[in-house]
Chain A
């Protein structure tokens, strides 16, 4: 196995993703299998090849710096789990 359960715990922490303790072994096995598949890339020589990020090699389009959107705060906050006086509420961060 390429990964240990400790590795998976560490990755899950980085992703802020809760993983049940009893699922750790199966994730470790699955991810190791996927990494095995990905290791096939090693056989291919890619020296001097430009990485490709966009299929048409387009560059980011710029627009003029002008206001185009209207404020829709109310509409967006209706679907929020917890808001008060126009603010999104989360558990206390600073004591």
Chain B
């Protein structure tokens, strides 16, 4: 049951092949069995079983909402009423959310059963899940390797069959990169498409929630439930929501695919280049046309991103002061000591680095050289995408420069870790939607394990339906998305 898609599970529930309680028990048993993967921070067993029982009664009436009885996991960045919402941090280890995030509320309304809260890098800052206060989630394809981050727990849960689907969030690649490393499908929607209300903020002008699933069809179903305008999020965009499943079967004949030469050159592992070449050939067979494009400012995305994200993070995380919620240090001598020590004792190293970087970039005398400069480069990058997307329908690129790397391999040098996000970051700066889909299984060198390779699809603003269509057509003629890690069958 744990390898089935949402569509198959929904059918099974409606055909009474199994009940939601049975399905939920099955997933809960697997979560306990494979606890070494460290995918979950909190397991909400009792609440899950009671939600499943409720779904079963709805299903019996024949009038149940779309996701009724489907067990999913929520990234621990989404506030869940009455349930610990840690954001992967010691700062919020004692935080029981007093309300639901809009995404949680919406998924509850469609009848989805929440199994628990998924592991992540602290405050979503990281590319390997190693920055979690609760330890790294492990890659089910090789548990000595990272799951990717920051939505590592979400990717592991779906890949290893510990949830039928999961939510993630993506600020610089945090849905797509772990999806690529773990061999699943992940979609980062257009900025403003999914409400950020109750989604703990890291970099508010870049953060966006999205689905992490077995395939594109499931991503369409989950996005349908998550997307929409929200009064409670001041950056939410009021734009019509199409039926994401309705266009999945459209033909790709005549589709123009742009391949930015800057993304296929130096720095890309040979095995990934080969797998992606094969994938693009497959699209050609489906009737698409491949066009080489150039986007010269893409190389500036990493420095611009780390200035903007750090600046926004230093501002957002100033709310954690030990006064109203979260961690408070023992015996503060005065108010300054309370702030300084609570924050010093409860934030991890990477979060501290980014707060310091952001504070520096925003401080008097440096604002123009860093923050304003980065925002101007952001404009140039966005213009580059606009030009490219006037010429082609969709852009394809790698998601990651290498296969999933070893746990501990890149923790010594933060800059090395930042360079991991080379192919994903520019998309967040532009605010465009993008997907990662499995497009190969290969080893970096002889003797190394066979690991999943992701292909990135980048679309125009609000073109999620087109991305899903393109991904779905590819998944009709390939089976990379159906491959599962051997040790967690």
Instruction: Tell me the A residues contacting B by CB distance below 8 Å.
Output: 8, 11-12, 14-20, 23, 27, 30-31, 33-42, 44, 46, 49-56, 58, 60-61, 63, 72, 75-76, 78-82, 88, 90-93
- A16-B336, A61-B234, A88-B324 given as contacts; is B356 within 8 A of A41 (CB)? no
Instruction: Assess the B360–A31 pair: CB atoms within 8 A.
Output: yes
Determine if A37 and B418 form an interchain contact, defined as CB atoms under 8 angstroms apart.
yes
- Would you call B303 an interface residue if the criterion is a C-beta within 8 Å of the partner chain's C-beta atoms? yes
Select A34's contact among B237, B345, B357, B382, beta carbons within 8 Å. B357
The chain B residue with its CB closest to the CB of A23 is B349
What is the bound-complex CA distance between A30 and B303, given in angstroms?
A: 14
- Beyond contacts A17-B352, A78-B98, A79-B94: 9 other A-B pairs, Cβ-Cβ < 8 A, are A15-B356, A34-B357, A35-B357, A51-B376, A51-B379, A76-B98, A76-B325, A79-B98, A91-B333
Interface residues of B in 327-385 (CB under 8 A from A): 327-328, 332-341, 343-345, 347, 349, 352-353, 355-357, 359-361, 363, 370, 372-380, 382
Q: Are B360 and A79 in contact (CB under 8 A)?
A: no
Q: Which of B276-300 contact A (CB under 8 A)?
A: 297, 299-300
The CA of A44 and the CA of B418, in the complex, are separated in Å by 20
**Which residues of chain A have C-beta atoms less than 8 A from B334's C-beta?**
91-93
Total interface residues on B, using CB and 8 Å? 73
> For residues 62 through 114 of chain B, which have their beta carbon under 8 Å from a beta carbon of chain A?
94-96, 98
Chain B: CB-nearest residue to A92? B334
A91 to B418, CA, bound (A): 39
B34 within 8 A of A: no
Bound CA span A30–B306, Å: 13
A selection of 9 A-B contacts at a CB cut-off of 8 Å is A11-B359, A15-B355, A19-B344, A34-B306, A34-B414, A34-B418, A49-B376, A56-B461, A78-B98
- Contact yes or no, A31 B373, CB < 8 A: no
Flag if A31 contacts B357 (CB, 8 Å).
yes
- A-B pairs, 10 with minimum CB distance: A18-B344, A55-B431, A51-B375, A81-B328, A46-B376, A52-B379, A49-B376, A16-B339, A15-B359, A55-B191
User: Within the complex, which residue of B306, B336, B344, B355 is in contact with A37, where a contact is CB–CB below 8 Å?
Assistant: B306
B335 near A91: Cβ-Cβ < 8 Å = yes
Give the nearest-CB partner of A40 in chain B: B303
Bound Cα distance from A46 to B380, whole angstroms: 8
How long is the Cα–Cα vector from A55 to B297 in the complex, in angstroms?
Answer: 16
Contact status A31-B356, CB under 8 Å: yes
The residue in B95, B297, B378 that gathers the most chain A C-beta atoms within 10 A of its C-beta is B378
B65 to chain A, nearest CB (A): 26
